[in-house]
Amino acid sequence: MKAPRRAIYALDGQRWSAGHDALVDALAEDYEEIVVAILKADEGFTAAQPLTGGQRVERLTARLRGRVGRPFCVLPIKGAGLTAAQLAVRLGLYAPAFEALVVEDEALAAAARWALGCRVRVEALEGVEALAAGPRVARGLFIARAQPFHAGHAAFVAQMAEEQDEVIVLVAMANASHGLRDPATAGERVEMIWPALERIAPGRHFLAAAPWVDHDAANVPDLRLILPDFGTLYTNSPSTKALAGPGVAVRALKASVEVSGTEIRRRIIAGEPFEAMLPPETARVMGRLPVAERLRALAQPERRGQEGG
């Protein structure tokens, strides 16, 4: 399966203009998928950054729905306090693979050329309009490491799609990768999940990735900075349920789905069939990503050179 040609437009998204619309339209003509990356999504409530990342994601998604004739995703990227070089690296790890990148400042462009080796251009457009808030809708949130995204995860998303107006899937522990338990990067996991969401909840989904913060009790409140507003958390995990916080309803999976990421990773390492345990879209994406090969390599015993002379 060939990867879709994908472009990323990375900006803070606090204000918008017809010029921004035209740029997104032009990208949609040239590429098969568009990612709008909201930079420094963990900032908000300041004069320079009045909207939270979640508010920006929600409002910009509403503006682009029905306008962009391609699959698109508005992806929040945490990056408060990072240098341009660190932000470029974060963008490369948290976003799905892309061919071209459009940014608003030269420093980030230079860092991205160095760190990512992709085509980068600068479009310094002036936003003149604050993105308007849309009507309140019921949203559910599902949090998963998604190593990989499997049929059990997809069942949660399908239940959310039936019970909520819109669904949010959060790739947790986005900073963990290249390990036996967490072989895939956050961007690779986003790439696995996106086409399944397009089928299960077309036009009604949000997708994000974020690292877990050091203080467990702060994780769900911290996520509110980068995610659209949600009222229900979907989980079977007692620990995640305990972190939900006041005002958030918790619902468990109704269906019984016997599948686990641990078993899938074991099968990959052993060279056994595993694709039937994944949504078909995810299985196809896995076929072109290096995740399975990486996991098998990580499982090999370390080889040391001969000591002495």
What mean pLDDT value characterizes the chain?
A: 91
Q: What number of CA atoms fall less than 13 Å from residue 309's CA on the CB side?
A: 0
Percent of the chain at pLDDT exceeding 90: 74
Predicted pLDDT at 3: 81
* 43-51 CB contacts, 8 Å cutoff, 24+ apart: 43/80, 44/225, 48/14, 49/12, 49/14, 50/14, 51/13, 51/14, 51/130, 51/131
Helix, strand, or coil here: 23? helix
Question: How many angstroms separate the Cα of 191 from the Cα of each of 45, 76, 125, 291?
Answer: 31, 15, 28, 12
- Residue 215 confidence class, pLDDT cut points 50, 70, 90: low
- Look at residue 222 in the predicted model and tell me its pLDDT: 80
pLDDT at 238: 86
pLDDT at 309: 44
Q: What is the predicted pLDDT for the residue at 107?
A: 95
pLDDT, mean of residues 48-62: 93
Using N-to-C axis directions, what is the helix angle for 151-163 and 186-200, rounded to 10°?
Answer: 50
Question: What is the pLDDT averaged over residues 200-215?
Answer: 86
Q: What is the pLDDT of residue 122?
A: 95
291 near 185, Cβ under 8 Å? no
pTM for the model stands at 0.92
Stronger pLDDT, 169 or 217, i.e. the higher one: 169
pLDDT value for 130: 84
pLDDT digits (tens, 9 = 90+) for 248-296: 899 998 877 788 999 999 999 999 999 999 999 999 999 999 999 999 9
Instruction: Report, as an integer, the average pLDDT of 33-54.
Output: 93
Higher pLDDT, 140 or 238: 140
Q: How many residues does the chain have?
A: 309
Q: What percent of the chain has pLDDT over 70?
A: 95
Strands 6-11 and 100-103: parallel
* Residue 128 pLDDT grade (very low, low, confident, very high; cuts 50, 70, 90): confident
* pLDDT greater at residue 309 or residue 254: 254
Which domains are delineated in the chain?
A: 6-130 (3.40.50.620), 139-294 (3.40.50.620)
Mean pLDDT throughout 288-308? 82
Q: pLDDT value at position 306?
A: 58
Pairing type for strands 100-103 and 119-122 reads parallel
